[in-house]
Amino acid sequence: MANIKWVYGFNEVEAAEKQVGGDWEAVRALMGGKGANLAEMTRIGVPVPPGFTITTEACNAFLAAGEQFPEGMWEQELEALKEVEKETGKKFGDAANPLLVSCRSGGKFSMPGMMDTVLNIGLNDETAKGMVKLTGDERFVYDAYRRLVQMFGSVVLDLPGEHFEDVIEKAKKERGVADDTGLTAEDWRAITERFQAIIEKEAGIEFPQDPYEQLKLATEAVFASWNGRRAVDYRNAAGIAHDLGTAVNMVTMIFGNMGETSGTGVAFTRDPAAGEKVLYGDYLINAQGEDVVAGIRNTKPIAELQQDLPQAYAEFADICQKLEKHYLEMQDVEFTIEQGKLWMLQTRTGKRTAQAAIKIAVDMVSEGLISKEDAVLRVEPGQVDALLHPQFDPAAKAAAGRLAKGVNASPGAAVGRLYFDADTAERMAREEGQDVIMIRPETKPDDVHGMLAAKGILTSRGGATSHAAVVARQFGIPAVVGCDQLEIDLEKRAVKAGGTVLKEGDYVSLDGATGEVFGGQIPTVDPSFEEQTDLITLLGWADEISAQEGIRDLPEGSPTRGLQVWANADYPRDARRARTFGARGIGLCRTEHMFFEEERLPIVQRMILAKTDQERQAALDELLPFQRSDFEGLFEAMDGLPVIIRLIDPPLHEFLPSYEDLLVEMTELRLDAERGKALPSETLASKEALLNAVEGMRETNPMMGLRGIRLGIILPGLIEMQVRAIFEAACNQALRGIDVHPEIMIPLTGHVNELNAVQPQLQEVAQAVMKEKGTEVEYKFGTMIEIPRAALTADRVAGVAQFFSYGTNDLTQMTFGYSRDDAEAKFLLEYVEQGILPGNPFQVLDRDGVGKLVAMGVKLGRQARPDLEVGICGEHGGEPSSIEFCYTAGLNYVSCSPFRLPVARLAAAQAAIRRPALVV
């Protein structure tokens, strides 16, 4: 280990590049982002104070050895310090002309404020006196000295910061001043002595007068801060690996607190909030860097530096432009001006809002700085998502009291009055014009009308793929689900959260992005997609990239080389919205949702409860015009694009009242009858018949019971009616000149013989309708792959089906053997927290298990049918990591809710640019 180079001077960036093979990302990993950028700025001629970096490898070795420096590191650090002495003409620890340094952290990825810093290392009682003689400014020297003692106590010795701040506050009070700048040299000298006394009393040691001991202890403290709680929590939240380590940067101290020609500041080369190309930041005259960040003095906007120190400002503005052109990114910089001389102390890629990220990316393409591909990669899918959903005002949210927290099911901010059932929610929204939050223990399909009327949805049960969550995402409604802190009393129409009780009609605010619930009204901002011109431009580039021919080496005859983005849409209004958001087709239209509308549900129930074939057919004939009208609207909205319509999927009992509710109602009716209350005989008889019918349909496990293709085999008239409605609508619109492309999806196939039994009959219906209408339309019949056996036998299934659509919600349930709602409510989150699972498989596709089935099904299917169209229509179709997998698996499209389309379009293009290895 003695031969390992642990330390690099800022003028040794070429040596670091050679060490790691020339890769800049590897240099950043070795020297940390701060150290690498200080060295790079030195190389390109930006004024950087002399200094050196102790590598992240040294940090990891230090931590692995029980917080002991690796062999040779300390000696290399001392040698590097001697080089700094030569460059500065100062000497570390010398009372006559002392060299002072700062000790700063710097990991590969920026973690602002999460690790430790110590300034003014090298000051002691003797060097302080020497600096007074050297500078003639006793106040400046003891201000610097107290900062070292204060940071040493709080950072190195881990003493509470209040011990030191209280002393300063007391001194200001005694002096009668509001700010630190009002304290005198005498005050700072006394405060320094008091700080030293605090260290001796609280830590049991004297403040070290040996500058080299200060240097060693500060290095150890910064290394150790990598494993500090706030750093670990930050990495967990930001998805940063825990094994990277932090570098330590020793930088010659530059003082911004040496009078009115000195100052310090932090700035961005563009506005990080709006993205405008203007310098954005703050500075202070006669201050050190932490004063700006800590907010202990009111800062000034960076533009005013042009009046205070015009020469320094002009140089600073030129450097900012130079750095942006060098890094091809908006930069976050720190600077200090010492007696008129500008020094750059840091540059890094600046954090920014979603709006700024998109604007900066688009503008930089226009400026010729980056390519369209670079711009697409610069924007995170989550930023697009955040931009398009209502958002709370951050300050107002911070001031609000949080009531509870659940699963962040559908992003966005919503404010409204609480209502406890769908009918009331719809009535209050439609008739009274109220903003409504619908709250339920969980939602069911027959709650859809209330959900659509609501501004937000709140449930105490369910998970990220529960009904409430899926519908909410489909329609862009903010939702918090599985909020088990809520005690909902439907009878009293009240909910208790901790010590707070909310009644029907009370206001609440939901943050669907964080899963938080607040009492009262928090102001929101509701962006418009059509007004997001920069986003529309960026997504246009994304579509161009995704559509490039030869982007993937798929089998000859595949329908498309790129990965398209389609939408899940059940109604014409959804389809129109989807087209606005850039959908290239409808990947899933769930016909059962149409059955739940109020005027249709009674007909559906008559069809289900029919005692004869004639009664059932009469009900089906009554439903057909409704379905046909819906499909006509879809085809019109998607003129020229494919529309996949899934035949009925859920079990029939979902369209009937619940067995438990009917049982309670029947019991009450019987008790009323026994008490002598007059009841129409037909009321009791009809309720009895309904209860018996529902009881006869009850299943132990409905998800795996009579539904999907199985229901079509048992009740062929139902799906034949749906296919007739689809083709009558398609032919009607084709005769009007609309370019229709219907694709009929048969759900839940487990065995190819099921398709053999059903699909030929449906094709006969299609042919009959086209003959009746005197026109032909192009169409496909395909199936939804939701059952593992279908994926395993996909070659046989593809012998019948012309396309596959993976329903990954159910496929995940059946592969894992989880009931999604039960799993998320009982143990799944615990599994993720304990590391048993890497993530929630209902949110991010499980590549190793479910993904393997998807890839296998694609490969087998295309062996049997090379032109097989394959897509995904589960909620994973809108999740970026899952979209990347779909690219690697050779899928032709992903389909998601309309409000996820911009995210999916960006993610599909990013996958195309990165070109991950195909798994098919």
Q: How far is CA 719 from the centre of its chain?
A: 39
Q: Side-chain half-sphere of 368: how many Cα atoms within 13 Å? A: 0
State the virtual CA torsion across 888, 890, 896, 902 in degrees, nearest 10.
Answer: 60
Determine the Cα–Cα distance for residues 854 and 857; give it in Å rounded to an integer.
Answer: 5
Q: Which of 211, 218, 223, 208 is nearest to 68 (CA)?
A: 223
Distance CA 766, CA 769 (A): 5
| Nearest Cα to Cα of residue 318 among 57, 107, 46, 82 | 46
Positive or negative CA dihedral for 860, 866, 869, 871? positive
Element holding 496 (H helix, E strand):
strand 494-497
Q: How many helices (H) and strands (E) does the chain have?
A: 38, 33
**Looking up tokens 């070292």, which residue turns up?**
148
**Residue in the structure block whose two tokens are 């009078």:** 259
**How many Cβ atoms are within 10 Å of 470's Cβ, its own excluded?**
22
Helices (H), 124-210: 125-135, 138-151, 162-175, 185-203
3-state SS of 319-336 is HHHHHHHHHCCCEEEEEE
Q: How far apart are CA 329 and CA 361, in angstroms?
A: 9
Contact 694, 659 (CB under 8 A): yes
Task: Give the separation between CA 488 and CA 502, rounded to whole angstroms.
Answer: 10
Pairing of strands 500-503, 391-392: unpaired
DSSP state string for 591-615: HHHHHTSTTTHHHHHHHHH-SSHHH
Radius of gyration of the chain (CA): 34
Which residues carry out catalysis?
Answer: 467, 873
Q: In degrees, to the nearest 5, what angle opens at C-alpha 684 toward C-alphas 682 and 687?
A: 100
Q: 797 and 861 in contact (C-beta within 8 Å)?
A: yes
Nearest Cα to 152, choosing from 221, 99, 91? 221
Phi, psi of 441 (to 5 degrees): -55, -45
Which tokens belong to 595? 């059955």
Q: Whole-angstrom Cα distance, residue 69 to residue 411?
A: 47
Q: Do residues 526 and 442 lie in contact, with contact meaning Cβ atoms separated by under 8 Å?
A: no
Tell me the three-class secondary structure of 431-461, residue by residue. CCCCCEEEEECCCCHHHHHHHHHCCEEEECC
Identify the DSSP state of 876.
Answer: G
- Coil, helix or strand at residue 621: helix
Where b means 16+ CB within 10 Å and e means fewer, 586-613 reads: bbbbbbbbbbbeeebeebbbbbbbeeee
Q: Which residue matches tokens 């992903």?
A: 894
* C-alpha pair distances (Å), 39 with each of 33, 873, 903: 10, 49, 37
Locus of tokens 């809710």: 897
Burial of 654 (0-12, 13-18, 19+ CB in 10 A): middle
CB atoms closer than 10 angstroms to residue 65? 12
Q: Are 563 and 546 in contact (CB under 8 A)?
A: yes
The span from the CA of 357 to the CA of 226, in Å, is 29
